[in-house]
Structure 1
């Protein structure tokens, strides 16, 4: 029986997800020190100004896999954190709530590798609306669904 060559593919897929999450996170959350701090010698200052409270919105996210058995299921959770499940039989899903400031960019992603020659399909649903859907049919193929929403 031939053993799958999952090592390099899984490492590359995992690194791609980490880089993408870091990039989206950096773009969505600019440097905190970029706010105005006022000027010297009687110029305008921010003293006495109260920050406007952020309005948080909650989205229900559902990641789904269907088809065969999946390896290294990797998905994005709250605050761009990454969660991984080593192996699961499909159909498989994870549902979570994500809170974020209104109008901020949010990145949703799931990836997994098929264990055999079957078909593996992924979907990302945000508030019950399909945002991304992909299928892989190649033996031991990697499927990835992702979407950035504002």
Structure 2
């Protein structure tokens, strides 16, 4: 048996690092070219397009977006002369406040809530003490809550959760 002599790359004989890099680059280009040909062939054959991860399968369908339902909510305070610390549910279930208002007081809020969700409406106020204070909440013209407080400094609240 013969012995293969060692090759010294410093003297110009045998592969050097430049040749190794060139062979590796050609291998990568060959692999990319094969994948491109396979994908192009699959698309022209009418098969499903590959996903970004290279997997094929059923197309992804976005989930339906819940439609918004518009409601007109009317908050009313009446009786007495002044309502204090008025708190009500505004757009997007945000809480809004008014420190003091003469009666009659009305606030109309256009609400846009997800279809099928619960609609919570509420108004509350403190009686300034000059007679009974009444509250009423209407949703799309229909009265859904009413209340009265007679005591000076007493709180009146009208609230309702609708589904």
The alignment's TM-score, normalised by the length of structure 1, stands at: 0.67
Which residue in 1 is equivalent to 2:127? Answer: 114
Deviation per CA, 1:65-108: give whole Å up to 9, x if none. 00111000000011110110000111000001000111101110
Task: State whether residues 117 and 140 of structure 1, in contact with CA within 8 Å, keep that contact through their aligned partners in structure 2.
Answer: no
SS in structure 2 at match of 1:145: strand
Select the structure with the greater relative contact order (CA < 8 A; seq sep ≥ 6).
1
CA distance in 2 between partners of 1:117 and 1:70 (Å): 10
How far apart are 1:49 and its partner, in Å?
A: 2.8
Q: Which runs of 4+ in 1 moved over 6 A?
A: none
The alignment's TM-score, normalised by the length of structure 2, stands at: 0.62
| Structure number, greater radius of gyration | 2
- Say which structure is richer in strand: 1
- Can you give the 5+ residue segments of structure 2 that lack an aligned partner in the other structure? 1-57
Which residue in 2 is equivalent to 1:59? Answer: 71
CA distance in 2 between partners of 1:47 and 1:143 (Å): 56
Aligned residues: 106
